[in-house]
Amino acid sequence: MCLLELKNINKYYKISGSNKFHVIKDVNVSFNKGELVSIIGESGSGKSTLMNLIGGLDSNYSGELLVNGKDISKLRKKELDTYRKSKVGFVFQSFNLISHLSILDNVTIAMTLSNVKKKARIKRAKEILSELGLENQINKKPSQLSGGQKQRVAIARALINNPEIIIADEPTGSLDSKTTMQVLEILRNIAEKGKLVIMVTHSEKVASCSSRVVKIADGKIISDDEIFKFENTYNLEDSSSNQKRFKFFGIRGKNLGIISAVKLALKNMKEKFARNIFLSIGGSIGIMSVILMLSLGNGVKTYFNTMMNSHVNPLVIEVNMPSEEDDKTIDLDVAKIQKPEINKEKSFEDTDIQKLSQIENVSQIEKGYTLISMGSNSLSYNGKGSNLIRLSTISSNITESNIQEGSLPKEGEILINKAVSDKLGGDVVGQKVTLNLLLNQKTVKAEFVVSGIENASGDLSSIIKSVFLNYSDLEKIYSENNSALKPNVMYINTTSEKYTPAIKEKVKEFGYSGSSQEQMTSMFNEMINITTYALSGIAAISLIVSAIMIIVVMYISVVERTKEIGIIKAIGARRKDIRRIFVCEAFLIGVFSGVIGLVFSYAVMNGINTMSNKLFNINVVIIKNSYAAFGVGVSIIISILSGILPANKASKLDPVESLRRE
């Protein structure tokens, strides 16, 4: 059985409309192992087209093209890629080496596409390069070699996957006479070892060195002459073994892996290092903007929450009864607010107190009472007075850190805030004052000693005139005036701060509400979040610009590397492999953009925080790890999405047309 057989092969090229040019006409020819065949003819005779058909670069023809009895015209695209990768090796007139890869990488690229391990492919490449006298050139670039050396590298690349067929397109066309004889001798030795070597040439001198000469003119074979036969120095059994090693019919071989694609993409990107760096910096601006906007919102929110929580004992949870209408509804009727009996909220009953005390990790329950009034309650001292808006009982929620001056109130003492202190003359700590309290439609009086002034920083106390006293003192006032004081707020003490969130959730499950401070904090946090997301959305517009920039640069890269793509396809790269290489390049641009953007973000954060600490003693910008991960992730996703269209374009390029591109 012949190794290669062509039966009734016809090939047409479309010219315009329905017009066609018949370039290959009823070609019937067969070839065997161990032959050095020259296909000779003038330019335009169809010899290069025939080479493309045999090499699997062009599958648009009629007839049968049999390799080991299998018709490659019936192969699917993936199988045809495997055929070029394992059965055929190409040697081109213009060498077609990839300029930015080393000699070693140029030779091993076919094995890289087969996902062969690095150690194995380097060993194989060094063996072949050593046989061709290039063992000292492996780390050089193609531009550093002579024409003869380049052609030997191309031959080494063709042999790397141990193919059965070597196709050489004008292999000596760019060489001087001495180098021509050296290359022909190498091809002759390859044929003697059992390979089928087909040379396409127009040179009679080159053809004279062949064992067989096939002449073609106007798309037809006009002569087929056997000059001589090589001695059977090759072992057909070994050849059969090699054939088993590189099967391509019905068996799916290994293909380019992700890690290999990333490494190849990195090597490709080094060729345009400066451009890729500037592209990454351009993409990083959008990422940096989004990270900084999110971090600015986080810094402001953290400062606000810290400020609010600094005056609250983390071990104490304030619990309020929901209002009769809706605990989110605030009645602003001044007439109602001025009347204590209408102002009263729902009180905690014994069942409520028992339910709260049974919550896990609760160490103690404190009763409390808060009264809001406008003009009905007041505090007087030394002929001066101050109307009170809020009267509250003291609890463990207020600590020494909340005291600006003096101390927490003991029995018979009250704590006032700065707004009340200013109204009474300022220097009232340790002085006796009179509390005027509207109770049961009459004003009752009680004397107290001012224990201290509350630190109003970060709280509405700075403008709301407030006093704080012990629950037992207020209860005594109510009792002396034939009234019963019932708590309208409870303070839950926890055993550890780590249990506070769980207890708050349990309180909400029972239908109670949290403190007014928590509600206000929640409202402000929501406002900050909305503002942050709005600013981040505006900043994200620059990401669209980055995406467009990546698409443009990737398309330019496809155009610049058209011939490189053709070379890779000629040695067996699948469409998927080409896509994978370009998408990996886009992925790397995304990684670099994200990392650069993150570095810039931290640099800007440190600069802003240095200034804000000097001016306000706060950190305005705080980058969370989640923001950093989000920024890098978004950068990668946008880059990959931007690279898909150019990658698809690259994968669809015709290898024959690509190889013609200069």
Please say if the pLDDT value at position 632 is more than 70. Answer: yes
Question: Is residue 110 situated within a structural domain?
Answer: no
For residue 160, the SS3 value is coil
451: Cβ contacts below 8 Å, ≥ 6 apart: 406, 407, 408, 409, 410, 413, 414, 415, 429
Query: Using 50, 70 and 90 to split pLDDT, how confident is the model at 208?
Result: confident
- Shared domain check, 174 and 37: yes
pLDDT, mean of residues 39-44: 87
pLDDT, mean of residues 363-390: 88
Its domain, for residue 432, covers 322-512
- Shared domain check, 299 and 206: no
Question: Is residue 471 situated within a structural domain?
Answer: yes
- Shared domain check, 356 and 248: no
Mark which of 454, 480, 512 sits at the end of a domain. 512
- Shared domain check, 450 and 424: yes
For residue 212, the SS3 value is strand
Tens digit of each residue's pLDDT (9 = 90 or more) over 226-281: 888 776 544 444 444 444 333 333 334 467 888 888 989 998 898 889 999 999 99
- Shared domain check, 559 and 439: no
Task: Report the range of poorest mean pLDDT among 179-193, 206-220, 330-344.
Answer: 330-344
Please say if the pLDDT value at position 169 is more than 80. Answer: yes
Query: Using 50, 70 and 90 to split pLDDT, how confident is the model at 433?
Result: very high
- Shared domain check, 586 and 507: no
Question: Is residue 99 situated within a structural domain?
Answer: no
Question: Is residue 315 situated within a structural domain?
Answer: no
pLDDT of 17: 74
Question: Is residue 460 situated within a structural domain?
Answer: yes
Q: Which two tokens stand for residue 625?
A: 């790890």
pLDDT of 413: 94
Question: Is residue 142 situated within a structural domain?
Answer: no
Tens digit of each residue's pLDDT (9 = 90 or more) over 50-90: 999 999 888 889 999 999 889 998 888 888 888 888 899 99
For 449-499, give the DSSP string.
EEEEEE--TTSGGGTS-EEEE-HHHHHHHHHHTT-----SEEEEEES-GGG
Please say if the pLDDT value at position 495 is more than 90. Answer: no
d(CA 225, CA 291): 74
362: Cβ contacts below 8 Å, ≥ 6 apart: 356, 492, 493, 494, 495, 503
Mark which of 196, 227, 255 sits at the end of a domain. 255
Where are the alpha helices (H) located in 116-247, listed in sequence order? 118-131, 147-159, 177-192, 204-207, 236-245
Question: Count of alpha carbons within 13 Å of 396, Cβ hemisphere only?
Answer: 16
Please say if the pLDDT value at position 462 is more than 70. Answer: no
Residue pair 162/193 in contact (Cβ under 8 Å)? The answer is no
pLDDT of 82: 87
Q: Which of 172-176, 316-320, 506-510, 595-599 has the highest mean pLDDT?
A: 595-599
The residue count of the chain comes to: 662
pTM of the model: 0.72
Looking at residue 65, which CATH number applies to its domain?
3.40.50.300
Question: Is residue 231 situated within a structural domain?
Answer: yes
- Shared domain check, 172 and 61: yes
- Shared domain check, 604 and 558: yes
- Shared domain check, 371 and 223: no
Residue pair 530/302 in contact (Cβ under 8 Å)? The answer is no
Percent of the chain at pLDDT > 70 equals 90
pLDDT, mean of residues 443-458: 84
- Shared domain check, 389 and 295: no
Question: Is residue 523 situated within a structural domain?
Answer: no
CA distances (Å), 179 to each of 147, 158, 186, 187, 640, in order? 8, 19, 11, 13, 46
pLDDT, mean of residues 146-167: 90
pLDDT, mean of residues 623-634: 93
Tens digit of each residue's pLDDT (9 = 90 or more) over 512-567: 887 766 766 777 888 888 988 898 888 888 888 888 988 999 999 898 889 889 98
- Shared domain check, 80 and 218: yes
For residue 505, the SS3 value is helix
d(CA 473, CA 479): 10
- Shared domain check, 481 and 571: no
State the Cα angle at 11 between 7 and 17, rounded to 5°.
155
For residue 433, the SS3 value is strand
For residue 622, how many other CB atoms are within 10 A of its CB?
18
Q: How many domains does the chain have?
A: 3
- Which among 439, 26, 371, 408 is positioned nearest to 216, based on CA atoms? 26
Query: Using 50, 70 and 90 to split pLDDT, how confident is the model at 647?
Result: very high
Please say if the pLDDT value at position 340 is more than 70. Answer: no
